[in-house]
């Protein structure tokens, strides 16, 4: 869905120039959830804005496969074409929800559908269907100030889907949510990637999002750094670091989120890993 080559962003010039993103290469597949983590000021939001054609890069290319099957380089597209490209290619989820206070949940989504070319009764039908997908049919007439933070963010996700985008971009989507609502939102994003085959790119500090990501990349000083590959705990199916609690069975090394999962695995390995299955290295995401 996304093919990024040599992507760079420099603010300023001469002695005051700051390289926010430095010659990044990146590929994101359909149905993949990519999590980009890193310290504050590492370039995560700048990267996301460039991927979504909201910020013009200094150099590099961003090829996006759009609905009719061909790719377009949004980094090289003329400025006048960018609004149309964004409206049919990307969905955006922001940390602060960015809902219109004067509109109901359904109306917020219908406005996004209007901008994507769906009008009248079709836009309202689209809003109802998307609210159902995020579990908020019963809140269709509520305004943002009548909803919890978790509800507002799910409405924001529904709004981001109003143009049926192949790529969903999320900037710190769980930052304002408590632990329970944050996990609910993470599972929702994972489901949307699986069911719709959407590419989802998330930038965040939130470690909870590791659980639903196919890949985790670490961005620091505008560049991707090497981090340990994530593997799957065969008991609870969570993604874990291979440096955690481990065990060897049938010649393969397995890693676990905790000693409890490790002990459960060792009591009956065949229950979790059928004989003849590939080893842990084949299960890395």
State the average pLDDT for the chain: 88
254, 280 Cβ separation under 8 angstroms: yes
180 within domain boundaries = yes
pLDDT band at 69 (very low <50, low <70, confident <90, very high): low
pLDDT band at 174 (very low <50, low <70, confident <90, very high): very high
255, 242 Cβ separation under 8 angstroms: yes
Percent of the chain surpassing pLDDT 70: 91
Residue 202 confidence (pLDDT): 97
Do 221 and 257 share a domain, yes or no?
A: no
Among 200, 225, 250, give the residue marking a domain's end. 225
Do 94 and 235 share a domain, yes or no?
A: no
* β-strands 59-65, 2-11 pairing: antiparallel
pLDDT for 106-153, tens place per residue? 999 999 999 888 899 999 999 999 999 999 999 999 999 999 999 999
Outline where the chain has alpha helix (H).
44-51, 82-89, 105-115, 120-133, 149-160, 179-196, 259-267, 269-272
Q: Which of 78, 84, 50, 80 is nearest to 66 (CA)?
A: 84
Do 92 and 181 share a domain, yes or no?
A: yes
Do 198 and 254 share a domain, yes or no?
A: no
As for how many domains the chain has, the answer is: 2
Do 206 and 237 share a domain, yes or no?
A: no
Domain range spanning residue 62?
2-100+166-225
202, 217 Cβ separation under 8 angstroms: no
Residue 256 confidence (pLDDT): 85
Instruction: Please work out, in degrees rounded to the nearest 5, the angle formed at the alpha carbon of residue 10 by the alpha carbons of 55 and 34.
Output: 55
Residue 208 confidence (pLDDT): 85
pLDDT band at 280 (very low <50, low <70, confident <90, very high): very low
């Amino acid at each position: 869905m996304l093919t990024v080559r040599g992507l760079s962003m420099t603010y300023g010039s001469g002695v005051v120039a700051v390289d926010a993103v430095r010659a990044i290469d990146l590929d994101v597949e359909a149905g993949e959830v990519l999590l980009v983590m890193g310290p504050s000021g590492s370039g995560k939001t700048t990267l996301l804005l460039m991927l979504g054609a909201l910020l013009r890069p200094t150099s590099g290319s961003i090829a996006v496969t759009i609905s009719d099957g061909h790719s377009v380089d949004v980094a090289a597209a003329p400025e006048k074409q960018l609004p149309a490209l964004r409206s049919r290619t990307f969905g955006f989820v922001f940390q602060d929800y960015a809902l219109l206070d004067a509109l109901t949940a359904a109306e917020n989504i219908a406005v996004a559908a209007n901008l994507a070319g769906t009008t009248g009764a079709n836009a309202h039908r689209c809003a109802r269907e998307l609210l159902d997908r995020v579990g908020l049919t019963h809140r269709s007439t509520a305004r943002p100030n009548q909803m919890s933070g978790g509800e507002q963010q799910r409405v924001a996700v529904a709004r981001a889907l109003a143009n049926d985008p192949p790529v969903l971009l999320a900037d710190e989507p769980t930052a304002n949510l408590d632990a329970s609502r944050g996990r609910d939102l993470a599972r929702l994003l994972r489901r949307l990637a699986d069911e719709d085959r959407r590419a989802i790119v998330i930038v965040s500090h939130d470690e909870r999002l590791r659980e639903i990501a196919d890949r985790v990349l670490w961005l620091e000083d505008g560049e991707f750094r090497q981090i340990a590959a994530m593997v799957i705990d065969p008991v609870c199916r969570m993604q874990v670091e291979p440096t955690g609690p481990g065990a060897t069975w049938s010649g393969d090394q397995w890693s676990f989120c905790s000693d409890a999962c490790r002990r459960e695995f060792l009591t009956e390995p065949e229950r979790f890993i059928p004989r003849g299955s590939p080893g842990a290295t084949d299960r890395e995401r």
